[in-house]
Amino acid sequence: MKSAPALAGRPLRLPVLLLIVLATVSGIAAAASETAWWEDAVFYEVFVRSFYDSDGDGIGDLNGLIERLDHLNDGDPSTTTDLGVTGLWLMPIAESPSYHGYDVEDYYSVDPDYGTIDDLRRLLDAAHARGMHVIVDLVLNHTSSEHPWFVASRGRASAFREWYLWSTTLPQMLGPWGQQVWHFGGTGYYYGLFWSEMPDLDYRNPDVSVQMFDVVRFWLDEVGVDGFRLDAVRHLIENGEDQENTPATHFWLKAFYAVAKGWRPDGLLLGEVWDTPSAIAPYLDRELDLCFEFSLADAVLSGVRNGRTATIVDALSEVLTTYPDGRYAPFLSNHDQARVMTQLQNDEAKAKLAAAILMTLPGTPFVYYGEEIGMTGDKPDERIRTPMQWHEDAVAGFTTGTPWEPLASDREGRSVSAQTDDPDSLFSTYRRLIHFRNASAVLRTGDLIVTSSGHLSILSYLRTDGATTVWVLHNLSSFAARPSALNASNGADLPPGTYEAVDRLGALPVSRFRIGEDGRLEGNIPSLAPRQSVVLELRAI
């Protein structure tokens, strides 16, 4: 049985006035900081409950994750047997009554299912020793209905009544998806955007803000995490029936950003703003460091499915003209979406192609656990979050007990052990691409210029950092294809002349071709096999 946390969390170490001063000063410091370790990172999203069980209770835990860190990064840059990721995002690990953890019961503890704060500190030490940073989910928008703050708020005279949004009568309004958002709580109706068991905090109350600023202090300063993935931040503060992206939300996040950077100037603040690029971009003005790019993820998988470049080109063009350089996190799927292999109808060649696109884009890429071995899953959410498949045995090497959730039924051949030594496996493809990106400065931080290939099914772009220029080509079709042009969408065409092209992925022989005055290609033009990706380093000769 879980012990109840203290009613108001831990005693605050800073008075409100000092927090405000800190926010102002640290905001200036954060603006001047050039620290951005995440620009070079490749992240791996981990659902601890499903990763590896160290004690046989059927539930993954922090000690299990520590045991499996060498799969992700063995700490030796000279080896290529590990996956090569350099960042970890842990889905919620704070104490919660739910399996998913997005309804927090105590912001100052690790859920006993996963271990202890000391276990987390050991994980951080082990990850840091391997050159990996670790961020954790921080759920600001709402708490659990079982959180002592909310339990106390049910009392009409309680000081915690104003920590949440209560109404004596039922407001006649629905949520942004047409859902019921006001729920009866015995002493009135309370607002819970996502679920009746997830009541929203009221950030118009300064006591709430100060308390949550202290939560930030605890995780960044006392525990030592490297930042946060911020859940559902576009919904923090409502304005009547306007329940997303409100001016008050932006205003509050600027203070949050300053306070967080005061405790940890190099701490990553990554936002889940599930919206269009134009709606996301304002959050990058001293509110968040990065945001996930949902429209690009949809476009990449759509283009890979239908074999046409148009949707990807359109999405890339919007991203490049909307965001500050590299200030976004590309991905393919996450814990709320059908898995990549499911969306691609179990086509491994398409999954490899999608991975190649992801790992050659700017920004900070994220890989959802199990994507690298082709795990499948679709709604309901539990089936997207099934245990990691390590081996080919009855419990996939996940536990010595009974898994908390039944394993995927189509898991044969989709395990780490089955794919590790197969150079043509999906796992080997991910491993090769991540190590290649880690070794390539131009892929990590170079500019991207969309180019026309002259072929409807060849996605084409240049990556350049001034010192190196590579031409990235992805054949989205099921037939061999050859580019016929190299025209930059921004007009910054390569000068006409003869070029030598070396495929840094090692698939194609060295070739030479000429770029004409009109961008048309002549000579030994490389031909791409179906679903093939190449990264051609260009040198004028």
Q: Which residues have a catalytic role annotated?
A: 231, 272
Please report which helix (H) or strand (E) contains residue 320, including its range: helix 310-322
d(CA 321, CA 95): 41
User: Which residues, 6 or more positions from 342, have their beta carbon under 8 angstroms from its beta carbon?
Assistant: 376, 377, 378
d(CA 235, CA 181): 12
Of 336, 334, 101, 91, the closest CA to residue 198 belongs to 101
Contact 390, 415 (CB under 8 A): yes
d(CA 319, CA 449): 12
Please report which helix (H) or strand (E) contains residue 461, including its range: strand 458-464
Provide the H-helix boundaries in 136-191.
Answer: 148-153
Q: How many CA atoms lie within 13 A of 195 on its CB side?
A: 10
Buried b (16+ CB within 10 A) or exposed e, 129-168: ebebbbbbbbbbbbbbbbbbbbbbbbeeeeebbebbbbee
What is the end-to-end Cα distance of the chain in Å, rounded? 72
